[in-house]
Chain A
Amino acid sequence: MNIQDIEQEKQQALAGIAAAADEKAVEELRIRYLGRNGLLQDIMKGIKDVPNDQKKEYGQRANSFKTEVLDAVNARKETLAAAGGQTGAGIDLTLPGAWPSLGTRHPISALIDRAVGIFRSIGFTVAEGPDIEDAFHNFDALNTPESHPSRNPADTFYLEDGTLLRTHTSPVQIRYMETHKPPVRIIAPGRCYRRDTPDATHSASFHQLEGLYVAENVSLAELKGDMEFFVRRLMGREDIRIRLRPHFFPFTEPSVEVDYSCHVCGGEGCRVCKHSGWIEIGGAGMVDPNVFKAVGYDPEKVTGYAFGMGVERMAMILYGIPDIRLLYENDVRFLRQFR
């Protein structure tokens, strides 16, 4: 046996050990290579036939054969033991992992967060106001006089002291403009209240997302462009179109309702858009001059747009939730669907 033979035998031995299927096979290989009558003994015996000038190297090779093979045997035995003595590829890779459970965001707050993020990217900042409002901020300053039908006590929760639970997030517009000079570019999410009897699509309390942009020369065309940008980002579809329909709100003029071409069918008509191709996303319009007067802005110097959207409605459309009450039941099996 010469030096090359030892090297070759070693490689073969290492490969064999690494592939051994179980401990018994490893032990058999150990005996074959390192046992009392094993190959190592033959190698050791062979040293006497080696020329003297090669004896040192032969000895080193023999030694490394012994240590490397022994290490390989021990390593393989450990690996197999760790796998519970199992044969084959080792552990059951499919057992459930042990990491703490995933946290989830509630669909309402997640949607608000997402929407706010989109508006923030074009320079809006968040503004907030109280749930318990006075009639001035909720109605009067929003060009909605006492005589206006929308102030009917049948629709509004009035409290004993004459304050009320805000019926929309629009009073935040007033509060913000009262305390800030133009330009104003805010997005105001929050809870609102209406005296609706709870059912699958109505809730006495719900969330709205209000937007207001006031500066010199703000136009309806900008409202349209910004709404288009928002819906495209929200839905992740760049082909979405915006359609405005004339409407009436006391605090905007012109007032519009905003539809977008269905994010599911692209406008062809499907179940989600009730086969119309369009989905209503909210109300909007150009801020009425009387609103500016109420907060001390000069309507000849600034113009602005405002919009409001129902968050629950949007969440129901986006996620296909059939009943608004599911959003408030907080069944963890429901919550888990929105990770």
Chain B
Amino acid sequence: MKVPVSWLLDYVKITATPEEIAEKLTFAGIELEGMERIGGAYSGLVVGEVRAVEPHPNADKLRVCRVFDGKDEVQVVCGAPNVEAGGRYPFAPVGAMLDNGSFKIKKAKLRGVESFGMLCSASELGISDDHDGLMVLDPEYTAGTPMDTVLGPPETVLELEVTPNRPDCLSMIGIARELAGIYGVPLEMPAVDLQETDIPVTDHASVSVDDTEGCGRYTARVVRDIAIRPSPSWMQRRLELSGIRAINNIVDITNYVMLECGHPLHAFDKALLKDSTVIVRRAAANESMKTLDDIDRELQSDTLVIADAEGPVALAGIMGGAGSEIRDDTKDVLLESARFDPDLIRATARRLGLSTESSYRFERGVDPETVEWASRRAASLLASLADGKICRGVIDVYPNPPNVRQVSCRFDRTRDLLGADIPDENIIAILSSLGLKPQEISGGACVLEIPSYRGDLEREVDLIEEVARRFGLDNIPSAPVAARINVDADDTPWRHREDLRGEMTALGLQEITTYSLVPEGLLNLFFGPGEEGRIALPRPVTMDQSILRTSLVPQMVETLGRNRSRQTEDAALYEMGRVYRRNQDGSSTETIRLAAGVMGVPGGNSIRTREPVTAAGMYGRIKGLWEKLAERRPGLTWTLRPCEAPWFEPGHAAEIESGGAVVARFGVIASGIRKEWRLQDPVAVLDADADVLASSGRAMPRYQALPTYPSVTRDLAMITGHDVRHEDILEIIRANSPDELETVELFDVFAGKGIPEGRKSMAYSLTYRAAGRTLTDDETNGYLTSVMDALRNVLHADIRDR
């Protein structure tokens, strides 16, 4: 809300700078969002009338003007493109001051032509950033009029954020009331002097409220024989400083009173109300009306309208109708001041997508007791500023005035909740300063009567908040910190997941965080358009973030691609986060996944081995990552099998099964997908169930005695068929070895030169150790012979002699 400070000071007599006022309000809960200074010192500036414009003899962009300043005609050189003969512009004659007096206009010579003063733009006057050309003034202004008269004195406008619980602060008087309380000075309400004629209002209008739930109070006054004209400049200026366009004296008065006291008003042209009748009712289902903005609105049966004998003439509390608006020939005015139901106004405003100054205030709730004051205030202004004759009395339909509310506040409770030692008397004094009236003090509590404008104060805690605000949050001490442990609380899953992040970091991967909302095309690229269980946003802000992700993999590959396009050659990344799926029964499931992605040859800053990136090599890296994770989880039993997912390169991906479920998949991303990001070299990705990894196999380690006798290592090289798998060989070696076999390690795989077509060489290192003695050569040779025999028999391996 925009609040011109000079207007505010009409109601509260304080001498404080705008900055001080803003600070006080901020710490009272009405936060300053911005402060705008309008105008400045226009000392010596007048309206200048340009009588002639001639080209400058020595400069294309300059013009030589004859400017009349009300007394003399002087020559002025001007560079603005919009200067025109006959135009009126702010004129700074020789001797005038600009920039708040820091810059004095002197006689000058511009490219050989003398200039006696300066025509000004709005920015040179310090009133806007517009420096595209001269500030064009209304041709009605006569030359020589001081600019102070045109623009008014300098003003500071506060932009305040009024929170939704304080509708009483949506006005000058509301803010002034806060300030009055803070500074301890009285609030000065404007005097309303109503000069009524003898003709009673009931002769000229009738009101019927059919819906007393939607409209708790409706008042109508009639003001006759008004004269439509522009409102006085002081009123126009205040409206404009507050962000409302001036229209004519009648409309301006209703807006002015709304800004002043926070209560929206509406003025009807009485002649346009059929039978001078006002009916407050719900619309019929098939009714429609054209609102002031010239839009035909379909009405629904829950829409609250103001109707005349024929049909709706206004959307109650939101906007008037085009058919009854004030016109240039309006003579008699019916002035509406009412209280409409906040929920009803909100629902209609939302449905119609229509938010007005009026609906904004009704939605938040207006004070029913201000209704009549606002009506009187507006009527008196219609008399003084529009020559209106006020009919006697007011039609006031107010069937159920609310009871005066009383709320009790316990002193101990106040002190306990705030943790501050505020004496009883101070609590009472603070609440009294807010306009609350203490009724009864007993039993450590005070019962207070709540003024009607504070509809937000309903409970004890609301009063305690008021005490905190006025007492000053700065005066509330910081209690000493104490560790209070809740032994029942358990966040083990979270801690395990944090450990897993730490593990990934320790393995040298960089963590990434991506959006959980993704574009549809990205998911389609990996999982096809038919993927089930996707949750789409009905109204996304951007199509790039329109579906909740079903996997971390697409963004992992996208991130690798983005980095590759930025000339990063190698990366190892991971992300842990939620994925989302709609279940068959309509419920949704959120699971936490761990994804990793590798690209290029790892190396960081070290000297790189410039070996080519192969699909097999990348598979090896991502499998190695899985193995490292698995190694740390000895309790996790798992088996590996090929993974056929189409987003992997065929034959280059595996899935891990554990406990009957696939807990991880890893492999090389399909080239057709990599192409999307011009990832020419293979990249590999792991996608795992983070909760399984975080929680499984982390049994308490048990110490095992370190071996005391030496081990014996034997190497074993063989040539086998190309399709014999490492795991098959391992299985045969283990099955044909005694317990003394400690480890088997593959140290070489080779195919090519010297090896027959379709075969490969595999070399293993077998380590034997006995628990209670040193193994002899004969024993180990015997072990090895059994293994070699088995390999020959089962795999037809050709064991190479050493």
Partner of B483, one of A100, A122, A228: A122
Contacts of A198 in B (CB 8 A): 541-542, 545
Contacts of A333 in B (CB 8 A): 566, 568
Give, as a whole number of angstroms, the nearest-CB distance from A166 to chain B.
11
Partner of A102, one of B489, B508, B516: B508
> Could you tell me if B481 and A229 are in contact, using CB atoms closer than 8 angstroms?
yes
Contacts A157-B537, A254-B464, A331-B566; A248 near B165 (Cβ below 8 A): yes
Contacts A96-B605, A219-B416, A221-B418; A204 near B517 (Cβ below 8 A): yes
Check A226 for interface membership: any CB of B closer than 8 A: yes
Which range holds the interface residue count of chain B?
Answer: 35 or more
CB closest chain-A residue, reference B416: A217
Contacts A225-B478, A229-B481; A330 near B559 (Cβ below 8 A): yes
**In the complex, what distance in Å separates the CA atom of A198 from the CA atom of B559?**
19
Report the tally of A-B residue pairs with Cβ distances under 8 A: 242
Give, as a whole number of angstroms, the nearest-CB distance from B24 to chain A.
12
Check B509 for interface membership: any CB of A closer than 8 A: yes
Check A319 for interface membership: any CB of B closer than 8 A: no
User: B748-775, CB under 8 A of A: which get 1 and which 0?
Assistant: 0000000000000000000000000000
Contacts A131-B590, A220-B468; A99 near B559 (Cβ below 8 A): no
Contacts of A4 in B (CB 8 A): none
Partner of A331, one of B495, B517, B540, B562: B562
**In the complex, what distance in Å separates the CA atom of A339 from the CA atom of B5?**
51
Contacts A158-B538, A248-B163; A205 near B486 (Cβ below 8 A): no
Give, as a whole number of angstroms, the nearest-CB distance from B615 to chain A.
21
Partner of B346, one of A147, A215, A224: A147
- The residue among B164, B491, B573 with the most chain A CB atoms within 10 A of its own CB is B491
> Could you tell me if A330 and B514 are in contact, using CB atoms closer than 8 angstroms?
yes
> Could you tell me if B418 and A219 are in contact, using CB atoms closer than 8 angstroms?
yes
**In the complex, what distance in Å separates the CA atom of A307 from the CA atom of B542?**
30
Partner of A225, one of B31, B166, B480, B563: B480
Give, as a whole number of angstroms, the nearest-CB distance from A148 to chain B.
7
Q: Which of B501-548 contact A (CB under 8 A)?
A: 501, 504-517, 535-542, 545, 548
**In the complex, what distance in Å separates the CA atom of A158 from the CA atom of B536?**
10
User: B330-367, CB under 8 A of A: which get 1 and which 0?
Assistant: 00000000000011001000100000000000011000
Check B443 for interface membership: any CB of A closer than 8 A: no
> Could you tell me if B602 and A100 are in contact, using CB atoms closer than 8 angstroms?
yes
Check A2 for interface membership: any CB of B closer than 8 A: no
Stretch at the interface among B76-84, B115-123, B142-150, B469-477: B469-477
> Could you tell me if A196 and B486 are in contact, using CB atoms closer than 8 angstroms?
no
Check A66 for interface membership: any CB of B closer than 8 A: no
Contacts of B571 in A (CB 8 A): 332
Check A197 for interface membership: any CB of B closer than 8 A: yes
Q: Which of A91-149 contact B (CB under 8 A)?
A: 95-106, 108-110, 113, 121-123, 125-128, 130-132, 147-149
Contacts of A98 in B (CB 8 A): 606-607
Q: Is the interface of A mostly helix, strand, loop or mixed?
A: mixed
Contacts A152-B350, A254-B469, A331-B563; A247 near B461 (Cβ below 8 A): no
> Could you tell me if A149 and B363 are in contact, using CB atoms closer than 8 angstroms?
yes
Stretch at the interface among A9-17, A74-82, A237-245: A237-245
**In the complex, what distance in Å separates the CA atom of A98 from the CA atom of B754?**
33
Check B287 for interface membership: any CB of A closer than 8 A: no
Check B702 for interface membership: any CB of A closer than 8 A: no
> Could you tell me if A228 and B474 are in contact, using CB atoms closer than 8 angstroms?
no
Partner of B604, one of A100, A165, A217, A247: A100
**In the complex, what distance in Å separates the CA atom of A160 from the CA atom of B418?**
43
**In the complex, what distance in Å separates the CA atom of A69 from the CA atom of B586?**
87
User: B544-574, CB under 8 A of A: which get 1 and which 0?
Assistant: 0100100000000001001100101001110
Check B498 for interface membership: any CB of A closer than 8 A: yes
> Could you tell me if B508 and A132 are in contact, using CB atoms closer than 8 angstroms?
no
> Could you tell me if B417 and A224 are in contact, using CB atoms closer than 8 angstroms?
no
> Could you tell me if B473 and A246 are in contact, using CB atoms closer than 8 angstroms?
yes
Contacts of A265 in B (CB 8 A): none
User: A318-339, CB under 8 A of B: which get 1 and which 0?
Assistant: 0000000001111111011000
Partner of A221, one of B163, B476, B489, B505: B476
Give, as a whole number of angstroms, the nearest-CB distance from B359 to chain A.
12
Contacts A105-B501, A147-B342, A245-B26; A224 near B479 (Cβ below 8 A): yes
Contacts of B541 in A (CB 8 A): 195-198, 204
9 A-B pairs with the lowest CB-CB distances in the bound complex, closest first: A221-B419, A219-B419, A101-B604, A246-B29, A248-B163, A103-B505, A244-B473, A125-B489, A330-B512
Interface residues of A (CB under 8 A from B): 95-106, 108-110, 113, 121-123, 125-128, 130-132, 147-150, 152-153, 157-161, 163, 165, 180, 183-186, 191, 193, 195-198, 203-205, 213, 215, 217, 219-222, 224-226, 228-229, 242-248, 253-257, 286, 288-289, 303, 327-333, 335-336
